[in-house]
Amino acid sequence: MKPLDTLAALLIVAMWGLNFTIIRFGLDEFTPFTFSTWRFLLAALPVLVVAKPAISWGTLAGIGGLMFGGQFVFLFFAMQAGLPPGLTSVLVQLQGPLTVVLAALFLREHATAGQWLGLTVAAVGVVLIGRSVEGTASVGAVGLALMSALTWAAGNLFFRSARGVSMFAVTAWANLIPPLPFALAALVVDGPAALLKPLLAPTTKGWFVLFYTVVPVMWLGYLLWGNLLRTYPAAKVGPISLLVPCVALGFAAWLVGEPVGGLRLVGIAVVLGGVALGLFASVRRLR
């Protein structure tokens, strides 16, 4: 990669890695449904100046409802249930091998032995992580993180049909899908005061969280990521995502004191090893 593109890749990794700890801070301010509503509502603002990409509303609904809405609301609830941000970042990376499984089931794509091996190894790591969180977070929280990975994987199948168009435009327009259902859920579950908290009882911390999760993470992050994907082969860009949970673990340990050691560290290493196996098997298949 060119030096500037390498810097862009490292910036993406840093922004997306820090995002998990920022989300932890956001859940101290907002309920998951309220957080989701405002995050996606603000992230959709570019539709005022960015033209709709040349893809169907059905594809946008699949991306917005699954890859964005489903992924993040399950992630928020997992972290609210006690799953630490660094560990959450590792578990959601299972979206990679799960995408392979869903493509095999619903698109009749043939998965290689290496991809299935990667999924099996990662599953062993999940079991180890599930045992490591006993006493600090529920197994249900791990399950919610896995649902986050699964909905992200399902959204990937829709996202694949959006090739050849601006990733930034797709991101902005897909963000139009989640706010209304999440706002209705927030009204029913949390009440109007919780939903309107960013306006009725604003805090510097709350608005910083919303700003960070929208501007650097969604707008700048996807703009840079889309540019890398247009400039370089997916086989070169894809492995960069494996650095995100590593950086997320570092930020979480530094900022919130998340412990990483013992059985949990073994589980993390096994999950990331399995994801890496599946990813590099996919890369070889693309060559």
Which residue type, as a one-letter code, is found at position 204?
Answer: T
Burial of 168 (0-12, 13-18, 19+ CB in 10 A): buried
What number is the average pLDDT over the span 204-227? 93
What number is the average pLDDT over the span 224-236? 75
Q: Which two tokens stand for residue 201?
A: 């009882």
Question: pTM of the full predicted structure?
Answer: 0.89
What is the share, in percent, of the chain residues with pLDDT greater than 70? 93
Euclidean distance between CA atoms 32 and 176, whole angstroms = 18
Q: What is the extent of the structural domain holding 78?
A: 3-286
Would the pLDDT of 280 be above 80? no
- Return the pLDDT at 287: 53
Nearest to 32 by CA among 148, 159, 170: 148
- Return the pLDDT at 238: 66
> 106 φ, ψ to 5°?
-105, -25
CA 1 to chain centre: 25
**242 within 8 A of 276, measured Cβ to Cβ:** yes
Would the pLDDT of 217 be above 90? yes
Mean pLDDT lowest among 110-119, 163-172, 245-254, 265-274: 110-119
Determine the straight-line distance between the first and last CA of the chain, rounded to whole angstroms: 18
Nearest to 158 by CA among 280, 279, 55: 55
Higher pLDDT, 24 or 138: 24
Q: Nearest 5°: CA angle at 107, between 227 and 152?
A: 50
- Return the pLDDT at 136: 64
Using one digit for the tens of pLDDT, what is the confidence trace for 111-148? 778 878 888 888 888 888 877 666 666 788 989 999 99
Q: Which residues, in sequence order, are CB contacts of 65 under 8 Å at separation 6+?
A: 155, 177, 178
**CA distances for 204 relative to 200, 207, 218, angstroms:** 13, 5, 20
Mean pLDDT lowest among 72-81, 108-117, 227-236, 277-286: 277-286
What domain count does the chain have?
1
What number is the average pLDDT over the span 228-255? 80
Q: Which residues of 238-262 are buried (b: 16+ CB within 10 A; e: fewer)?
A: bebbbbbbebbbbbbbeeeebebee
- Return the pLDDT at 200: 95
